[in-house]
């Protein structure tokens, strides 16, 4: 690994302080440091390189922030599954497992090739205009601007379409099963159990319980009734859709690869950080 990308919150002072420390360590180790294109002034100060497509150009992404920053890093992936090392500067740190105190030692292990890498499934959404997006946690469809029931048609693979009347629908990965889906009474799904999880929000008719299907099944959602449908991707991007259109959701062709903490496993995290078990 020669080119290391840093993904951080500009407004987070702790991220800047730790980022500068990591930048010095990497440059002293003979590595090239990449920053996102809107960090041009910081790149000059740190003697780093500005990257237009940081996830494509880096051999490793180091993410400094909380789980939201990890989700943003996942949205940067494009042509290759660049590994991600997440350093927790947030409140929970469910996906950003590594503490700031362990950042340099874990980074050394990653550079030496001795760290543990795990794969997480991504979902790919295709919009009516053919554009696509990927999510690590979930895509949520609901009525924009007002609380009202929506009508969806849901088609899984070659099966017949079925109905959902509800406040909304969460389509999540196993990683995302511990997020909004869990709050909507969805099950916890271990991230090594691949599948696509559909969790209705306050269902009234049709699908009334969460449904987990194999990852190879294409899910198609038909927006049958409702105005100003809103699609929220991983909690950070919203897309407005019109009645009558449809979207397709499949397992993304690339996985999300994470550097796993050597201190905690998934069950530890559920118990210690999320207080879920």
Which of the residues are catalytic?
67
CA–CA distance from 127 to each of 221, 222, 225, 240, 241 (Å)? 10, 11, 18, 10, 9
The H or E element containing residue 108 is helix 103-112
Q: Is 74 within 8 Å of 256 (Cβ atoms)? A: yes
CA–CA distance from 38 to each of 34, 53, 71 (Å)? 12, 11, 18
The H or E element containing residue 161 is none
Rounded CA-CA distance 107/98 in Å is 10
Q: Is 12 within 8 Å of 42 (Cβ atoms)? A: no
Tokens at residue 211, please?
Answer: 């449904």
Q: Is 94 within 8 Å of 270 (Cβ atoms)? A: no
Q: Is 92 within 8 Å of 71 (Cβ atoms)? A: no
């Amino acid at each position: 690994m020669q080119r290391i990308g840093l993904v951080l919150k500009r407004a987070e002072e702790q991220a800047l302080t730790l980022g500068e420390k990591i930048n010095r360590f990497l440059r002293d180790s003979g590595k090239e440091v990449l920053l996102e294109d809107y960090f041009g002034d910081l790149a000059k100060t740190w003697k780093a390189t500005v990257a237009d497509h940081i996830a494509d150009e880096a051999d490793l992404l180091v993410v400094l922030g909380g789980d939201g920053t990890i989700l943003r890093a996942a949205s940067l992936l494009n042509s290759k599954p660049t590994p991600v090392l997440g350093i927790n500067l947030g409140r929970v740190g469910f996906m950003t497992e590594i503490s700031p105190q362990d950042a340099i030692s874990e980074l050394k292990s990653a550079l030496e090739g001795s760290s543990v890498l795990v794969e997480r499934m991504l979902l790919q959404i295709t919009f009516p205009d053919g554009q696509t997006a990927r999510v690590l946690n979930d895509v949520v469809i609901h009525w924009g601007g007002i609380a009202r029931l929506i009508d969806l048609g849901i088609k899984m693979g070659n099966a017949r379409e079925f109905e959902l009347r509800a406040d909304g629908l969460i389509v999540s990965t196993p990683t995302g099963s511990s997020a909004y889906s869990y709050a909507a009474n969805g099950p916890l799904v271990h991230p090594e159990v691949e599948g696509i999880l559909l969790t209705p929000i306050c269902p009234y008719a049709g699908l009334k319980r969460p449904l987990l299907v194999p990852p190879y099944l294409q899910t198609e959602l038909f927006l049958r009734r409702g105005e100003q449908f809103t699609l929220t991707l991983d909690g950070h991007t919203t897309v407005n859709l019109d009645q009558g259109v449809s979207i397709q959701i499949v397992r993304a062709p690339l996985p999300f690869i994470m550097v796993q903490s050597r201190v905690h496993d998934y069950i530890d995290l559920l118990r210690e950080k999320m207080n879920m078990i």
